[in-house]
Structure 1
């Protein structure tokens, strides 16, 4: 703290605050380029910095509204699971921690499931909520993914999974690790039904999530700059005691190595994802608008001119021999 910070009025301090700070503010500081962005402009740009294209965290509801056609979708309720089965306690009781995050986010767990149309294709979309205990994978999330897979099979619809997680939820111990094979079976159920399973990897996707359903997609998309891996780069550096390459475990690096099929900016996600789903479900390419009468006339004239200007077909070798024989006989 310097002398200027001490004399700055509290009201001014509240206006300029980084995205990680809590409270209602008018401006957000980009963590990548330090640009100050008006919050209304940031929301209109889907929480992507207009200066450096840094993709910040986006609310689950905002993501789903931007993805589904006309922002219309139906929320699927998560199945109920036992609360604090291990009676775990660290700095506070696990049950108290769950109650705190449920009040903060308004969600039951770190997953939101929506059903709606993406570019005209009815789809089931599950989005991990990083704001709920870091998107950690526990029984609630595992049951939610199974519920989403069952909904996709029931409606014969594609299943799209947006991942964002720090890994398994330590407060549930072995019960959280059991969600890895359970969610894998849920994905297999979708594939056996002949339905597409598309994964969109967002920042960050790590731990047991990466080791299970996050890497089982028919196609893997990723947002720019997303951290994707099992263990984080800091842990890897401390283990191997070597400096990692530039951009290691980022979406662009993994795309170059073939682990990610496509890096898609958030503003293009609906268009790209919708196109993939239309191909997978054989909806075909959308028809182009009908041509105007003037345009039709131009097309007809162009077609006619192309036909009349075509060269005459060449004579076959056999026909040429016959023609030469005829000319010889005529000369005789």
Structure 2
């Protein structure tokens, strides 16, 4: 059998990276209150896809591929850390000429922040990079599995960890359980639902299980008309919006699980569906967008803060106008795609030159 090309999976990854940008640079309220719950599926879906391609159909862990992924992520961690370190210096110097790098570094290297770096993968600056640390932990965890066969008990582990994520996340207001642990004598706490065991590993394991049972999943769901999946997705969106209104802000909503589950099943059972543009974004640009979108968004905001536009009472700073606040997500998305496309092309040129030198 030829290798299956999961085009829909890449298409949804393209949507997911856009959703991440909208989570961090979204529309102002009340529109933002509606959009943000719809974007919560994004990061768990990335973990699902990573787990899906961690195994083969013969119930074996692709260990060589896993080690390659670990090395790739470590390179990305180093590159992202260096890029954002330089960005922090430039950014803080622009905002405050009297800024002191020694004092700033000392304020970051505290006991509680070091503990969070290892416990919940929170970087010292720009917390969105926790994704890379959590993904690295996931790959290292699955290397502990048996070398010959993947144990059937991982479904039990995945479900239990998923229940823990729900309990420590959305149900923390209801259940009489502690949702955080104290960090030394600092008064700060680490939230348990931020640990990779709960917000990353269960979705990664679900991806592995989907790959191991791909034929069973296709047999069950491939005959279900697409309209039923769309109904479930729309229902999940409605439930998530209701939860946002009545429960408040949490990392993940129960309704979003319906959206996430439907997208996961669709991407496995209808692999040839997809959109060419979103597929390219998901396959080639999504990881770059995730890593660099905060930096790109900050620079766009800084540029908007320097522009003055005419108004009823004289001139106003562009960033404070309603026009900018509602167009801002689209501008930042466009900037992310432009910058990451340039990065992608530069990496491709570097790879081609490296291969050329190797064989000549």
- Using the size of structure 1 for normalisation, the TM-score is 0.27
Specify which structure has the higher proportion of strand. 1
The structure showing larger relative contact order (alpha-carbon pairs under 8 Å, at least 6 residues apart) is 2
Specify which structure has the higher proportion of helix. 2
